[in-house]
Structure 1
Amino acid sequence: MTDWQAFTVETKDQVAQVTLTGPGKGNAMGPDFWRELPEIFDGLAADAEVRAIVLTGSGKHFSYGLDLPAMAGSFGPLLADKALAAPRTAFLNDIRTMQASITAVANCVKPVIAAVSGWCIGGGLDLIAAADIRYASAEAKFSLREAKVAIVADVGSLQRLPAVISEGHLRELAFTGKDIDAARAERIGLVNEVFADQAAVLDAAHALAREIAANPPLVVQGVKDVLNERLTAEVAAGLRYVSAWNAAFLPSGDLTEAIQAVFEKREPRFEGR
């Protein structure tokens, strides 16, 4: 057993439950999250005793997304050094490391079922986009919020969600950064089904995982591999493009304003600089 800092991992009856635990508020995604996520999913992929995985969050919420205060070190040099080649290159590498963390979930040979309660914001949406199946509790809320903090979403939502929801719905979420409830998420296909509360959605996710685990494991893994084949190259190309785009264009007065507004707990004032 590994003493994870941002997760707990439990396995029972051939089903693993991976639970986000923070340490940031609302299971926000800080350095430990990005480092540990691929280690966990690579390990589960290699574990013959695991046939399906349930991915969920501790407490009331799935995840508030990127832990901006904890990850400020990735943005600071990019802005302070006036976006010269060295900080741009370091930032590009940071983006691609984070992309690889989420991709480890998508590439895991075992089916992954996301059980979402409470808020699923930004990076949380990137994470469940990499899952195979998404369930939600009735009070769950979703937001592709990066535009509101002057960032183009760059770790998977824009690349994976076109295969999950329609292009029009994705563009609406990405352009506005608006919040949607579980009922709207179900209508647009973002989640497969909505359940009464957090306990019910977790029970349903485990029931589905056990149903999957009862099937021949190599056949299930083969089905996932075949389904992923049509998307893998397209997603990879999109991730490389957005990482280069953000390394080139992310430094801005609006990004500085967004970060300052977070720390000062106020609404940002964007000027298109």
Structure 2
Amino acid sequence: MSYESLKLTIADKIAHIQLNRPDALNTMNPALWQELPEVVRHINDEAAARVIVLSSTGKHFSAGMDLAVFTGGSLQKDQELGRKHENLRRTVLQLQDALSQFEKVRMPVLAAIQGGCIGGAVDMVTACDSRYCTEDAFFSIEETKLGMTADVGTLQRLPKLIPQGLVRELAYTGRRFYADEALQAGLVNRVFKDQATMLEGVMEIAEQIAARSPLAVAGCKEMINYTRDHSVAESLNYMSVWQSGMFQPQTDMMETFMAKAEKREPEFEELNKVGTIFD
């Protein structure tokens, strides 16, 4: 399939999504907001990969929201204020849901970031499981500089990733947050010399994930996401429920032991496709 705003390749159980508008600094245009969630849902529903790598093309990861998102469509219609504002709320919810697909997908999502990661792009990468960047990378909650409040996930997810006082400073000032500080604060896992080295390193991590039981990895993601938003007691209880249904020692665990004994790589069954009640 071909897309206007991105490229998708799937090989060796790794799905690679690349933002692909480098001449426009990979700004998040209307096509991206439609295509990105569709691609992620496709990978999830078809169990098409075991891990997703999100990267970009050109000098910068993304300069954030494209103005066309605000200047086109029904948002500019001259209509009664109550209905206009209700429509704006639904638009914001739709944008939020597009990036929330990275959390909802059963597979881990690894973001590889070079150059500028600005505005809506920060919303995007904070929804991913792990982030990696180049030495020249920087992050900016740009919305404050534009006279608005970031509204697609940064202010909700970033405080779960780095200290809240630092989030407040970044949000209030809109200043640039560079790679070395991002690494020290824990926003990124590792900083690479350049984009090529970063992609090579991130793909190696993706290969390690793809070699594990996809059911076990999906369980890890489910539990970590749940624990982030719930108490320890609630999370332990949910873990017991998950384990009582999903833990089957005679399958993936036995395959792991047999593979070690036979000195080979384990071969795991893929996750099921997402079906319907009529399948």
1:171 paired residue number: 168
Superposition map of 1:39-118 within 5 A: 39-73=38-72, 77=76, 84-118=81-115
Mapped to 1, the partners of 2:23 and 2:98 lie a distance apart of 18
Residue correspondence of structure 1 range 172-211 to structure 2 within 5 A = 172-211=169-208
- Is this contact kept in 1: 2:22–2:60, CA < 8 A? no
Flag structure 2 segments of 5+ consecutive residues without an equivalent.
Answer: 232-279
SS at 2:25 equivalent:
helix
Shift of 1:112: 0.4
1:76 CA displacement: 5.7
Q: Could you state the TM-score of these two structures normalised by the residue count of structure 1?
A: 0.80
Distance in 2 (CA, whole Å) between partners of 1:95 and 1:220 is 31
Is the contact made by 2:22 and 2:57 (CA closer than 8 Å) also made in structure 1?
Answer: no
For 1:15, the equivalent position in structure 2 comes to 14
Contact 1:24-1:67 within 8 A present in 2 as well: no
Counterparts of 2:175 and 2:104 in 1: how far apart (Å)?
29
Pick from 155, 158, 163: which aligns with 1:161? 158
Q: Please give the per-residue CA displacement for 1:91-128, whole angstroms capped at 9, x wherever unaligned.
A: 11110010010001111110000000011001101000
Give distance in 2, aligned partners of 1:101 and 1:232: 20
| d(CA) in 2 for partners of 1:128, 1:168 | 20
Identity of aligned residues (%): 37
Give the TM-score of the pair, scaled to structure 2. 0.78
Residue type at the aligned position of 1:197: D
Mapped to 2, the partners of 1:23 and 1:192 lie a distance apart of 25
Q: Kindly indicate whether residue 123 of structure 2 is the aligned counterpart of residue 126 of structure 1.
A: yes
Secondary structure, aligned partner of 2:63: coil
Specify the code of the residue in structure 2 equivalent to 1:210.
E
What is the letter of the counterpart of residue 111 of structure 2?
A
CA–CA distance in structure 2, aligned partners of residues 165 and 134 of structure 1: 13
Please list every run of 5 or more consecutive structure 1 residues that lacks an aligned counterpart in the other structure: 235-273
| Equivalent-residue separation in structure 2 for 1:50 and 1:110 (angstroms) | 8
Larger Rg: 2
Q: What do the CA deviations read for 1:177-218 (whole angstroms, capped 9, x no partner)?
A: 101211111111111110000101111111100001111110
Relative to 1, partners in 2 of residues 1:140 and 1:45: Cα closer, same or farther, differing over 3 Å?
Answer: same
In 2, distance between residues paired with 1:100 and 1:139? Answer: 30
Give aligned pairs, total: 231
CA separation in 1, counterparts of 2:51 and 2:69? 31
Q: Distance in 1 between matches of 2:227 and 2:81?
A: 37
Question: Alpha carbon RMSD of aligned pairs, Å?
Answer: 2.0
- Give the Å deviation of 1:37: 1.3
Inter-partner Cα distance in structure 2 for 1:233 and 1:98: 25
